[in-house]
Amino acid sequence: MTVFKNRTDAGRRLVKKLVTYANRPDVLVLGLPRGGVPVAFEVAQALHLPLDICLVRKLGVPGHPELAMGAIAQGGIVVLNEEIVRWRRISQGSIDRVIEKERQELERRDRLYRGNRPFRDLREHTLILIDDGIATGSTLRAAIATLKQQQPASIVVAVPVAPPSTCQALAAEIDRVVCLSEPAHLCSVSLWYDDFSQTSDDEVRLLLGRASQETTV
């Protein structure tokens, strides 16, 4: 069983599986805020690649926000876990209210994190999409859907930990999945980290700013 010290440690371990992408002008690293950004930062730094973000928001079940019933991403993308929706008997009205709330947060974070930096042209690029771990895969699927609209050359998902069934499902949608640990029963991503403290907005902004400065030097 692999346990990561923190997100920095997880990112540095992922680098070893991604070295073939180093120094390539057609490759871009994308972190999922907030927790995926520190992991992605380490990969981008080590491989000398530019870093950006792919904004996605989990849709929490009303009254149980820790349980994901889906996710949204930029471009009007909505991915629902129909099994959870049926199990919890969630009405369309409740779903719409959660979507609207998370859409507002998505727009807030875009303004906060990106600032004046323009959207990158992702066409014909290889995109390495990174998070700190996968539980259900809803957020990754929303991210993949919005990235496919940009017509990239290929999409690679790289994560420290995820269940094998989720990795297999994602592999059918994209070009490659890189995962360091694939436990059969993944109750919580946090259990695979010694330190899984919340990543702050300020930390995301700091890492994106550092990455932007270093790629323009």
- pTM value is 0.87
CA-wise closest residue to 60 among 75, 74, 80, 76: 80
Preceding amide of 34 cis, omega within 30? yes
Domain boundaries, given as residue ranges, for the chain: 7-54+120-216, 58-112
Q: What is the CATH number of domain 58-112?
A: 3.30.1310
For residues 185 and 13, which has the higher predicted lDDT (pLDDT)?
Answer: 13
34-77: pLDDT as tens digits: 999 999 999 999 999 999 999 999 899 999 988 889 989 887 88
Handedness of CA 95, 134, 187, 104 (dihedral sign): negative
DSSP collapsed to 3 states, 135-165:
CCCHHHHHHHHHHHCCCCCEEEEEEEECCHH
CB 62 within 8 A of CB 94: yes
pLDDT at 30: 97
Compute the distance between CA of residue 212 and CA of residue 49 in angstroms, rounded to an integer.
10
- pLDDT score at 217: 47
137-172 exposure pattern, b = at least 16 Cβ within 10 A, e = fewer: bbbbbbbbbbbbebebeebbbbbbbbbeebbeebee
| pLDDT band, very low/low/confident/very high, at 1 (cuts 50, 70, 90) | low
Read off the pLDDT of residues 144-167 as tens digits, 9 standing for 90 and up.
988 998 899 999 999 999 999 999
pLDDT, one tens digit per residue, over 81-135 is 899 999 999 999 999 999 999 999 999 999 999 877 777 889 999 999 999 999 8
Fold category of 7-54+120-216 in CATH:
Rossmann fold (3.40.50)
Q: Which phi and psi (to 5°) does residue 138 adopt?
A: -60, -45
pLDDT given at position 135: 85
Name the strand (E) or helix (H) holding 54.
Answer: none
- Are the beta carbons of 129 and 176 closer than 8 angstroms? no
